[in-house]
Amino acid sequence: MTLHIFNPEHDHALAANLPNFTPPHAARQLRSELSFLPALWAETGDIVVVDDVEAACDAYRKLKLEHRPEVIFTTPDTLFRYASDLKTATVEPWGWDITVRNALFRAGVPCQSMPTDVEIDTIRRLSNRSLAVRLLEQLSAHHCVTGHSVVCSTYGEVVSFLHSNRNIVVKAPWSCSGRGVRYIDVDTVNRNALQWVDNTIRRQGTVVAEIKCPKVRDFAVEFMSSADGVRAVGLSLFTTVNGAYTGNMLASEEDKRSILAQYLPPEVLDSLVHEIETFLTDHIRGVYTGPLGVDMMIVANGNAADDSAPFLVNPCVEINLRRTMGHVALALSQHGHRGAMDIAYENKQYKVKLTTNNNYPYN
């Protein structure tokens, strides 16, 4: 049996690094209204911790899934009812951090079922965006690869990078997609953006600065880490608005590869994935077990002299050392759902919307 908990505030918690941490309102609302989400990849008999059992059952039922495991929804206050099961259960939050570990311990989950404080600290260190900088540097020798990022530990280093590259993206070392990110153009830079850079370095020690690329589309490769190493489990074609995730294509791997082949030769993608598997195995095997994802980006090649290579790929926009919405989409796709999965904010509520559409809206 597996105990699941959806903690989308995970990236905020990594930055705060506190046993007791109150995330921003939006993160708390997302967690509350989508707490049923692990039921989409859980197995029958698994436990899913939710804020409201009745609301979770209702939201799960409304998705009208053909494959619908019979999971047990329970609140943190009633988790003690399953104390005997928890002694041997596998515990799988959305992401491991000291905050969720402390919350689960207070709810009755035994320490031996969770990573130690030292292991949590190691996961946090590896979740820092500096690991993505190192991976991108290693992949830069591949054909069709673009992108350049650096770790900056002073305000002056960021300013120097800005003047050298003119249009950049600056990211906090731990932050959610769309948050903790600033786009800075040397011609239109404002004081608030630079103040944010200075404040972030003071609070978190560093920032990551990268050259802004002319994005054509987002995608990711999803992985699983085990004692045997890291292996790719599927592709994720997704959309964002202002850097924040909005939805995923639900499709076969063949269809997703066919779409990406319009931009990137399949053999290039396969070579990149193989090298990422090797790199991540070297760095996280024995430290982190579970799902993770590497976000990538198709980029317009403004220097192409002809039509031979109109597109390039940034193969490591970021590494998410946790479950991702791409993994959720993979779970649905593997059970035959085709179309789209969107995370919508309607009538001041977060909802999961599944649409069936043979003409995929993410083509």
pLDDT tens digit string along 12-65? 999 999 999 999 999 999 999 999 999 999 999 999 999 999 999 999 999 999
pLDDT score at 241: 87
pLDDT over 70 percentage in the chain: 96
Place of tokens 């989508």: 34
DSSP-based three-state secondary structure for 353: strand
Out of 45-59, 128-142, 348-362, least confident range: 348-362
C-alpha distances (whole Å) from 318 to each of 26, 64, 80, 315, 358 are: 22, 33, 37, 9, 30
**Tokens matching residue 141:** 């020798």
Residue 256, CA atoms < 13 Å, CB-side half-sphere: 27
Check pLDDT > 60 for residue 305: no
pLDDT tens digit string along 148-201? 999 999 999 999 999 999 999 999 999 765 678 999 999 988 889 999 999 999
C-alpha distances (whole Å) from 89 to each of 1, 2, 81, 108 are: 5, 5, 14, 12
Mean of pLDDT values over 352-359: 79
φ, ψ of residue 231 to 5 degrees: the values are: -135, 145
pLDDT score at 212: 95
Check pLDDT > 60 for residue 358: no
How many C-beta neighbours within 10 Å does residue 306 have? 6
pTM: 0.95
pLDDT score at 356: 85
Query: What residues are paired with 222 via a beta bridge?
Result: 234, 293
The answer to whether 344 and 350 have CB atoms below 8 angstroms apart is: yes
pLDDT tens digit string along 228-276? 999 999 999 999 988 789 999 999 999 999 999 999 999 999 999 999 9
Residue 277 to residue 230: CA distance in whole angstroms: 5
Residue 90 to residue 95: CA distance in whole angstroms: 14
DSSP string for residues in 213-270: P-EEEEEEEEEEEETTEEEEEEEEEEEEETTEEEEEEE--HHHHHHHHTTTS-HHHHH
pLDDT score at 243: 79
Query: What residues are paired with 267 via a beta bridge?
Result: none
